[in-house]
Amino acid sequence: MTTNWSSASYKLSKQGQAYVLVTLVGVSGSTPRNSGTKMVISHDDIFDTIGGGHLEHKAIKYAKKMLNSGESCQHIEHFQLGSNLGQCCGGNTSVLFECFAATGVNIMLFGAGHVGKALVPILAQLPCKVTWVDSREAQFPSNLSSYDNVVKVVSESPELEVASMPANSYFIVMTHNHQMDFEISQAILKRADFHYLGLIASNTKWRRFQQRYKHRDIDQKQVARMNCPIGLADVGGKLPMEVAVSVSAEIINIYQAQQVKLAAINDQLAQENQQSVDANSVSKARPKSQQGIHWQELKQLLSAD
């Protein structure tokens, strides 16, 4: 546990992780902490305290429930510390729960070469969590700890790290070894649950890899989902920074499109739920003697078409 809720919320926001900010917004009588006291609760950690005891236990339990909903929301709950929670201080407090949903994407980058070194500082400024993998520890820059959302992984078998990523992750493959690139990309293709797979390759390398995937009986539908050559075609150049900008632009384009799609789905669901509520209200208001469908319900159905 850390005692700094402020730095915790900042780091979690930078990493795109979900968390709940808990604040005592009003107190009366004897309470463990004063109004304005805060704590942060994430899926895996608890930062700071609002005084401990049953109040904090209930707050953590409620915050976890909000996190599991996966949505950004706010809620105020009032607690009587004596009669409801059995705390001897016996005062009253109102608690504000502010849930910040996860906003970032999970990215696994293979390769700490020139392009990888140019790409990571860009990704570190985006709402994403980056797992940077290479078999050569000396290749990683010394200032890596300054990036809150980047984790270094040194592995002699990078392809085994693929299994540690959640579904719908983004994978960027650009190691110093062609065989290593093939083994990594093959492991990703076999998972078949990636959202993005970009491979840095020449035309010759890409043709050879496609033939080798066929010989390994890799699903060709998954191969067709790969982004190779990697990066946006409109952003040209072969310098490490030029390639890094092209790759990051492609990733931004993809996750922004995904967010627009999810927003449209949520709006559609909200409209359907509202129509259902309106229909139920009309149904309840209908006289018991009425038979068939009400004209207002019929109008809604025709409008929906």
Is residue 81 within 8 A of residue 31, CB to CB? The reply is: yes
Q: Which is more confidently placed, 187 or 295?
A: 187
Nearest to 42, CA basis, from 75, 81, 5? 5
DSSP state letters, 216-263: TT--HHHHHT-B-S-S-TTS---SHHHHHHHHHHHHHHHHHHHHHHHH
Q: How confident is the model at residue 10 (pLDDT cuts 50, 70, 90)?
A: confident
CB within 8 Å of 186: residues ≥ 6 apart: 159, 213, 216, 218
Q: How confident is the model at residue 224 (pLDDT cuts 50, 70, 90)?
A: very high
| Least-confidence region, from 21-35, 161-175, 242-256 | 21-35
Please give the pLDDT value at position 280.
63
Kindly tell me if the per-residue pLDDT of 165 is higher than 90.
yes
Q: Which two structure tokens, joined as six digits, stand for 169?
A: 């992750």
SS3 288: coil
Kindly tell me if the per-residue pLDDT of 79 is higher than 90.
no
Q: Which two structure tokens, joined as six digits, stand for 203?
A: 């035309």
Q: pTM of the full predicted structure?
A: 0.68
Q: Which is more confidently placed, 199 or 126?
A: 199
- What's the pLDDT tens digit per position in 45-64? 999 998 877 888 889 999 99
CB within 8 Å of 96: residues ≥ 6 apart: 22, 23, 24, 25, 74, 75, 76
Please give the pLDDT value at position 14.
76
Q: How confident is the model at residue 230 (pLDDT cuts 50, 70, 90)?
A: very high
DSSP state letters, 118-150: HHHHHHTTSSEEEEEEES-GGGS-TTGGG-TTE
Mean pLDDT of 83-93: 59
Mean pLDDT of 267-287: 64
Mean pLDDT of 168-191: 97
Please give the pLDDT value at position 266.
66
Please give the pLDDT value at position 264.
76
- What's the pLDDT tens digit per position in 244-269? 999 999 999 998 888 787 677 767 77
